[in-house]
Amino acid sequence: MPYAFEFKIKAKKNQYAAIDEAIRTGQFIRNKCIRLWMDERGTGKAKLYRYCRLLAKEFAFANKLNSQARQAMAERAWSSISRFYDNCHKKISGKKGYPKFKKHSRSIEYKNTGWKLSEDRKYITFTDKLDIGKLKLKGTWDLHFYQLEQIKRVRLIKRADGYYCQLLIQADINVETTPTQKTTGIDLGLNYFIADSSGNVVESPKYYRKSSKKLSRLNRRKSRKYRNPGKGKKGAKMVKVPKQRQSNNYHKARVRYARKHLKVSRQREEFVKRVANCVIQSNDLVAYEDLNVKGMVKNRHLAKSISDAGWSTFRRWLEHFGRKYGKVTVAVPPHNTSQNCSSCGQTVKKSLSTRTHICDHCGFVEDRDVNAALNILQKGLSTVGHTESNAWGDTPSSCVGEILHDYGESLNQESLSL
């Protein structure tokens, strides 16, 4: 299984410019491959590989990029094409994800060639014709534990706060732990982030809600720096105005706004990682709802709150830690988990505003989310051992974010306690 070890890059200004050029070149190759597929019916992956060689001969700037890096961009194009074919074959409702041209790519990927690690594993040198050169890797990961043959991909990524290098390493990381003889069911919510079957709840931090005022202020400052030539007044003769380059102050404001968004996303990621690790460490079996988050965020009244909660990210880390520590994670259908009584099984209808479960049949009284967590645990225990159960996260989740598929499993340092 590939794991992504990420380091921040320290380099000179001309090296950062060379990385930007590599990213633009990779975007150009990917878009040309998409165009070839649109123009020529029946284009396959092998033909896209051959097309990369033709592009290198035709365009001098494309020839500067490593040959396997060009193939990696063709693979990205084919990935979007094959995903579109799969969606059409499965006859999913709505849009099928027709491949689009990239406008703002932020990464370039190398395979086994075009780069070289130093002996102390603190520097990486890119050897293609783009003159990226030697880059310093700033991070705490010790790469001496892994052989060079285990490094399958190297990615250069541009973010709002700088440039990063990811090393995708093929390794099996399993940690033996002492069984706790405990099981739990987890209900994801908006009032509480999670509520388990034991009655424990974790408050939702709501990082985006708390930062919304500052984000709005930074967005207004960015908008004030934006220069728009305009099209003239209504009824007046339209005069074509040449396009103006945005000012340096606009780009500074744009970066400040992007950095704040990046900070919020990282806060949410670290929070759900800590909670998921704590849940896995404390239990041998964890049952949770198989929520269709992509469909739920279409509700415009709850979309912001659901996205701020980070349910998909939490599930991704829960399944990752389950595989790492050898614990069982089971995804169960969410139907009627909030409406059914966990004591007698009867259905008790209640609206979203009703936060207490009161059963008229057996008199059981409990918090709505805790009652749902008890139902989820019962479903999880009844499906363990069946082939359709999602034990250890073997079955891919439909709600897991695409970052995991793009960058592999992330192994950022995690805390064992909340």
Q: Which of 290, 242, 224, 269 is nearest to 404 (CA)?
A: 269
If you search the block for the tokens 């285990």, which residue do you land on?
Answer: 150
HSE-CB at 108 with a 13 A cutoff on CA atoms is 27
Residue 143 to residue 168: CA distance in whole angstroms: 11
The two three-digit tokens of residue 149, written as one number: 């043959």
- Under a CB-based contact definition with an 8 Å cutoff, are residues 397 and 315 in contact? yes
With bands split at pLDDT 50, 70 and 90, how would you rate the model's confidence at 1? confident
Rounded to the nearest angstrom, the gap between the alpha carbon of residue 252 and the centroid of all alpha carbons in its chain is 26
Domains for the chain: give ranges and CATH numbers: 2-170 (no CATH), 183-208+258-410 (3.30.420)
- For 29, 77, 81, the CA distances from 44, given in Å and listed in that order, are 15, 11, 9
- Taking only the tens place, the pLDDT of each residue in 247-264 is 899 999 999 999 999 999
Dmax (CA) of the chain: 79
Q: Measured between alpha carbons, how far is 316 from 247 in angstroms, rounded to an integer?
A: 41
- Measured CA to CA, the distance from residue 352 to residue 332 in angstroms comes to 21
For 310-356, what is each residue's pLDDT tens digit? 999 999 999 999 999 999 999 998 888 888 888 888 888 888 778 88
Place of tokens 């500052």: 214
pLDDT exceeds 60 at position 235 = no
Model's pTM, two decimal places? 0.81
Residue 369: band (very low, low, confident or very high) from pLDDT cuts 50, 70, 90: confident
Q: Average the pLDDT over 133-139 and give the result.
A: 94
| Residue 198 and residue 184 in contact, taking contact as beta carbons nearer than 8 Å | yes
CA 331 – CA 334 distance, rounded (Å): 9
